[in-house]
């Protein structure tokens, strides 16, 4: 009989553990006007007042839901939670949003600890952060990680610091953010170092004080569908790439407005390999694609194909590598069915190309679906 009792007790403990593991982590609600940090926060009618407090109450796997209003606080996320602004699910680039959940604080506003793997930040506006530092509004842990983070559907407006600063991360999704009016000293929209398996997609970046996106030492990552305009330096700058990466389906306008001779909307360091630049639209930039003036030669694994390159200033595709090499820039539209302007192409009236660029064959009309080879 005693043995049976022991067995039953063990089964009960296992059952209780199973129930506990299966229960959904609670949602915590925040309202900066009606909230009170003495509330439990697990009832939308009894919200807490600050996101900082909500993060102490929510379990890993749970959601912190922030009502519209002003939040003057900075905080650290140290677990896998969804931080949900009132406009989550409504694009700040293409959608019509109502009043925002606005966070204003010195940068870094949100620090993601290495333990925050799987966290997400969606539907907020970050504005008015005035300290001119390199930390970023959203900052990944300086020690590396966390991995598999989502930063999506947010507005970053009128901040001194870069929007996102991520170093040594895997599996990030940075998508559909509207990043504009960065006022600090030489600050870019996104500063991304040693990313692996990341997707940076559908972001609109305009009016920074340096570049749109800085990418260094990325691996197997995609930079796609972004709209970058009005930046004094590159739209996207790539350096120290060895493993494959793609830059595709982006739209670049008025990039490199500082007229830097060896930069363009897409700027590529000589130490870059295995980069594919394809299906992008380049218009009214000071140079569309540029290989920097550095020792060495451009890698044959850097491919610039199937792009619309038309109406750009300077030399639209410019290989300034000191050792030359040949940049593969075949099968692009140059703004004219006669091809690009270059001494080796008499009669070509399209955008200019430099020496050490292979531009043949070229497309005879714009539009990826309608392009035909010449």
* pLDDT at residue 3 in the model: 37
DSSP letters of 25-48? PPEEEE-TTT--TTS--SSTTS-B
In degrees rounded to 5, what are phi and psi of residue 328? -80, 105
Distance CA 201, CA 197 (A): 13
- Which region, left, alpha or beta, applies to residue 202 given φ > 0 means left and ψ of -120 to 50 means alpha? left
Residue-wise pLDDT tens digits, 186-201? 999 999 999 999 999 9
Whether the CB-CB separation of 154 and 211 falls below 8 Å is answered with: no
DSSP string, 222-247: EEES-EEES-SS-SEEEES--S-EEE
**CATH code for the structural domain at 26-210:** 2.160.20
- Tell me which DSSP letter residue 111 carries: E
Q: How far apart are the first and last CA of the chain?
A: 90
Q: Are 238 and 276 in contact (CB under 8 A)?
A: no
Residues ≥6 apart with Cβ < 8 Å to 283: 251, 252, 253, 308, 310, 311, 312
pLDDT, position 144: 82
Which pair of tokens denotes residue 237? 């700058």
Residue 82 has what DSSP assignment?
A: E
- Contact 226/246 with Cβ under 8 angstroms? no
Q: Can you give the pLDDT at residue 11?
A: 30
Alpha-carbon distance 80 to 119, whole Å?
A: 4
Residues with pLDDT less than 70, the chain: 1-25, 368-374
Q: pTM value? A: 0.91
pLDDT of residue 235: 98
Q: Which two tokens stand for residue 41?
A: 């926060």
| Omega within 30 of 0 (cis) for the link into 250 | no
- Tokens linked to 241: 């790439």
Q: Which of 346, 364, 349 is nearest to 316 (CA)?
A: 349
In the chain, alpha helices (H): 2-22, 51-57
Angle at CA 153, nearest 5°, toward 221 and 251?
Answer: 55
Whole-number Å distance between alpha carbons of 81 and 62: 5
State which H helix or E strand residue 173 sits in: strand 173-175
Annotate 311-340 with b (16+ C-beta within 10 A) or e (fewer). ebbbbbbbbbbeeebebbbbbbbbbbebbb
The Cα-based distances of 227 to 70, 197, 250, 290 in angstroms read 28, 21, 6, 18
- Residue-wise DSSP of 180-234: E---STT--SEEEEEEES-EEES-EEE--SS-SEEEES-BSEEEES-EEES-SS-
């Amino acid at each position: 009989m005693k043995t049976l009792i022991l067995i039953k007790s063990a089964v009960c403990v296992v059952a209780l553990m199973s129930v506990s593991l299966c229960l959904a982590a609670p949602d915590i609600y925040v309202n900066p006007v009606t909230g009170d940090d003495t509330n439990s926060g697990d009832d939308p009618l009894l919200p807490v007042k600050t996101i900082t407090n909500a993060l102490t109450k929510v379990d890993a796997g749970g959601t912190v839901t922030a009502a519209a209003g002003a939040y003057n606080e900075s905080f650290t996320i140290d677990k896998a939670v969804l931080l949900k602004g009132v406009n989550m699910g409504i694009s700040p680039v293409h959608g019509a949003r109502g009043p925002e959940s606005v966070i204003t604080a010195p940068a870094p506003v949100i620090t993601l600890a290495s333990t925050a793997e799987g966290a997400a930040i969606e539907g907020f506006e970050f504005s008015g952060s005035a300290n001119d530092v390199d930390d970023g509004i959203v900052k990944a842990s300086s020690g590396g990680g966390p991995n598999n983070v989502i930063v999506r559907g947010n507005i970053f407006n009128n901040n001194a610091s870069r929007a996102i600063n991520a170093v040594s991360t895997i599996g990030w999704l940075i998508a559909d953010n509207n990043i504009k009016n960065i006022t600090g000293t030489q600050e870019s929209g996104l500063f991304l170092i040693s990313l692996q398996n990341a997707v940076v997609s559908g972001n609109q970046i305009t009016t920074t004080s340096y570049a749109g996106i800085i990418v260094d030492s990325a691996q197997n990552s995609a930079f796609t569908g972004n709209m970058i305009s009005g930046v004094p330096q590159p739209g996207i700058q790539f350096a120290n790439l060895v493993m494959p990466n793609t830059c595709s389906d982006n739209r670049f306008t008025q990039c490199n407005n500082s007229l830097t001779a060896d930069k363009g909307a897409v700027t590529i360091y000589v130490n870059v390999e295995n980069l594919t630049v394809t299906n992008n639209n380049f218009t009214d930039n000071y140079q569309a694609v540029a290989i920097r003036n550095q020792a060495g030669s451009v890698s044959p694994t850097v491919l610039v194909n199937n792009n619309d390159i038309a109406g750009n200033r300077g030399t639209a595709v410019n290989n300034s590598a000191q050792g030359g090499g040949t940049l593969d820039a075949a099968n692009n539209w140059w703004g004219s069915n006669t091809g690009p302007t270059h001494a080796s192409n008499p009669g070509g009236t399209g955008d200019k190309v430099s020496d050490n660029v292979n531009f043949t064959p070229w497309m005879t009309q714009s539009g990826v679906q309608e392009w035909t080879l010449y």
